[in-house]
Structure 1
Amino acid sequence: MKKSKRSIFTTIGLSAVLLLGACSGEESSAEDKEYNLKMSVTVSDSSTWYEAAEKLKKDLEEETDGRINLELYANEQLSGGDSGKAVEGLSKGTIDLTFNSTIIYSILDDRFGVASAPFLFNNLDEVDKVFNGDGGEQLKEVLSEKGVQALGFGENGFRQLTNSVREVKGPEDIKGLKLRIPGITMYTDLYRELGTDPVTMTFSEVFTALQQGTIDGQENPIDVIYSSKLNEVQDYMTMWNYSYDPLVLGMNKKLYDSLSDSDKELFDRLGKEAAAYQVEQAREKAATQIEELKASGMQLYEPTEEELAAFKESVQPLYDKYKDIWGAELLEAFQKR
């Protein structure tokens, strides 16, 4: 009888060892899972956005010995040139990662527009304080609700105005201009408030539209204006810093949640580093890009404090309309200094 019991215990012990071994094998295979991921970048491969994506790709490959491969697609190739479809694809999981502006995310939820509210920030120090604080955390929560894991915040920079008709110094000069804007309601309302004729179109169509005179101008940060060579089809630029444009290095949340803990840590760390690298590169290059745009013949104008005050006054009704849309708590987090 004793011998029988020992046999039973031996069998149980052996089964436990086999079971632990099997579990260990499953865990090991999860850790070693290979990934071939696709990442969409809105602008060209000469931009700081793409440089940061290349850094992420390289770092992932090096740290995993090629186990995680990231294929990069510039100019929204994965979404037919449509940034809106890119963030929708990211949210649904048909695209794995993207580098997109929060302005484009406004297609998914109007709350994203708060980050680019007109004349919200006076300088980059205020920007950094907000995005490294409560504002950034609340934005990540909204992204998570939409199926996106934010790995880091990049910087498209302050958006500037270009056109080929006249120099814009104050509110009177901008009236009547036909301007391309991103396809979100906030910007449409904003530019109508300024008395312009706003036109929405995907960015991939902008250069040709400017070249053909279909539109008079557009608005974008320096890096986009420079890397897209808009100076070839635009004569004037107003440096009014009217709207800050943050970027989200985003990953589909279901994909992120399916990763092993070690791979989550890897994407968190390398994503944050890639986004910080993009911000650093964008800020370093901005001064040089501005000088090169001037050298190309583009006329740049910096409005006075009085002219900026006039612009701010003219867009105040937008805040009255959007405070409830953005949410008082979220707006307050972005207004904290």
Structure 2
Amino acid sequence: MKKLTALLAMVLLASLMAMTAQAGPLGLDKPIELRFAYGEADSWPGKGNYAPFPEEAMAKYFKAYVESRSNGMIKVKLLGNSIMGSNKQVTEMVRSGSLDLCTSTGSLGSMFPAFDMIYLPYVFQSEEIAWWVFDNSKFWKDLMAEMEQKTNMVYLGMGQNGVRNFTNNVRPIKTPADLKGLKIRVMESPIYVKMMDALGAQATPIGWNELYTSLQTKVVDGEENPVSIICAGKLYEVQKYLTLDGHTWSEDLLTMNAPKFHKLPAEAQQLIMAAGRRAAIAGREAEEYNTLLLKMPIIQKNMEVYTPTSAELAQFKTVARPPVEKWLRERVGDEKVDNFLKAVEEAETALGYKK
């Protein structure tokens, strides 16, 4: 019996040594490929392109970081220009496992309603407050752990699609009263419809691909988007007025299919998480560079631009926020909304906005 036990022990030890010898970098036995979908065109680097678009920056940084740090054991196939479908479609594909990774904007709320809290009108005074909440707050860490359980997706990072502003072709928008009666295109998200209703405008959900024509033919009077998106879609050709009210902060959310992620060795998981964090920063910087240095001069040349005063912004917040906050509380509960607002206050204090 002792001889048999010793023989079995030797066999087990030999097997373990063989498995260890076969394992490559990051504990992977063979190279793997991750399929990463995003919406923006593959335009950088190229002649005359000084910076990539935000989603493109995230995807290309993620690919470069993962492939170089894994010694080529993890390959990343980029699927840009919405070739895999809309934001909602690619998010559903990551959830089901038919895609590995994606960046998405405005699509997670239908699967995980608490995510919609980030769209509370005028909740973030600046972009850096939003970043602090996503990068540093325990609230966000806990919320993303809950998101994974309920959606089958792992949160990897939060890039920036931009700060959303109003455009229209009827009149300058300086106060909430100026929005009354205007037909404003919004994303197909109920929270934006609630906001427009509160401001007295007529919310009209229209897909991005139809927006330019809808503005040109006056199906709608205006829309709301970040400056870089307004410029990318050449909406300045069919819109006269831009109001930089920054009513909501808009995300580029990077997620990965949870079963695929958790099947990877721990070292590979750590690499992917690090790549996600760094890709988010790359996306934020690309968005700000595009907006402030590249796109704003084009907008200013072609549109009448107005920046509301602090008093005017307070009017927008007073009108728009209460009905949307009430709707959110009914949808996700008081505790979550209260904890989110507390995290925002913590960010304001940490960054010096609030003493």
TM-score > 0.5, shorter chain as reference: yes
- Cα–Cα, structure 1 residues 126 and 16, in superposed 2: closer, same or farther, change >3 Å? closer
Equivalence for 2:272: 267
Over residues 126-145 of structure 1, what are the superposed CA-to-partner deviations in whole Å (9 max), with x where a residue is unaligned? 22332221342133124312
Aligned equivalents of 1:10 and 1:189: distance in 2? 72
Alignment of 1:288-307 (within 5 A): 288-289=293-294, 291-307=296-312
2:100 aligned with 1:96, yes or no? Answer: yes
Aligned partners of 2:127 and 2:249 also within 8 Å: no
Aligned equivalents of 1:240 and 1:14: distance in 2? 71
Paired residue secondary structure (1:95): coil
Equivalence for 1:63: 69
Over residues 10-44 of structure 1, what are the superposed CA-to-partner deviations in whole Å (9 max), with x where a residue is unaligned? 64454234332354367559613322222121333
Equivalence for 2:351: none
* Identity among equivalent pairs (%): 26
Aligned partners of 2:54 and 2:159 also within 8 Å: no
**Which residues of structure 1 form unaligned runs of 5+?**
none
2:121 aligned with 1:118, yes or no? Answer: yes
- Cα–Cα, structure 1 residues 5 and 117, in superposed 2: closer, same or farther, change >3 Å? closer
2:340 aligned with 1:334, yes or no? Answer: yes
Which 10-residue stretch deviates more, 251-260 or 11-20?
11-20
Over residues 250-306 of structure 1, what are the superposed CA-to-partner deviations in whole Å (9 max), with x where a residue is unaligned? 111111111111110110111111111111222233322453233431111111223
Aligned with residue 181 of structure 1, among 186, 211, 225: 186
- Cα–Cα, structure 1 residues 138 and 327, in superposed 2: closer, same or farther, change >3 Å? farther
2:11 aligned with 1:15, yes or no? Answer: yes
Determine which structure has more spread, i.e. the larger CA radius of gyration.
Answer: 1
Once the two structures are TM-superposed, the CA of residue 78 in structure 1 deviates from its matched residue by: 0.4
Aligned partners of 1:36 and 1:69 also within 8 Å: yes
Alignment of 1:218-257 (within 5 A): 218-257=223-262
Aligned equivalents of 2:292 and 2:2: distance in 1? 81
Aligned equivalents of 1:286 and 1:292: distance in 2? 9
Once the two structures are TM-superposed, the CA of residue 239 in structure 1 deviates from its matched residue by: 0.3
Which 10-residue stretch deviates more, 246-255 or 279-288?
279-288
Equivalence for 1:48: 54
Aligned partners of 1:166 and 1:236 also within 8 Å: yes
Aligned equivalents of 2:107 and 2:334: distance in 1? 21
Aligned partners of 1:155 and 1:282 also within 8 Å: yes
Paired residue secondary structure (1:251): strand
Aligned equivalents of 2:98 and 2:200: distance in 1? 39
2:88 aligned with 1:84, yes or no? Answer: yes
- The code of the aligned residue for 1:133 comes to S
Aligned partners of 2:66 and 2:74 also within 8 Å: yes
- Cα–Cα, structure 1 residues 40 and 205, in superposed 2: closer, same or farther, change >3 Å? farther
Provide the alpha-carbon RMSD of the alignment.
2.4
Over residues 190-227 of structure 1, what are the superposed CA-to-partner deviations in whole Å (9 max), with x where a residue is unaligned? 11222222121322332332233332221111222223
- The code of the aligned residue for 2:208 comes to F
Once the two structures are TM-superposed, the CA of residue 180 in structure 1 deviates from its matched residue by: 1.5
- Cα–Cα, structure 1 residues 188 and 75, in superposed 2: closer, same or farther, change >3 Å? farther
Aligned partners of 1:48 and 1:223 also within 8 Å: no
- Cα–Cα, structure 1 residues 16 and 89, in superposed 2: closer, same or farther, change >3 Å? closer
Paired residue secondary structure (1:160): strand
Q: What is the TM-score when the length of structure 2 is the normalising length?
A: 0.85
Aligned partners of 1:226 and 1:289 also within 8 Å: no
Regions of 4+ moved over 4 Å: 25-30
Paired residue secondary structure (2:114): helix
- Number of aligned positions between the proteins: 330
Aligned with residue 216 of structure 1, among 214, 221, 224: 221
Q: What is the TM-score when the length of structure 1 is the normalising length?
A: 0.89
Aligned partners of 2:54 and 2:160 also within 8 Å: no
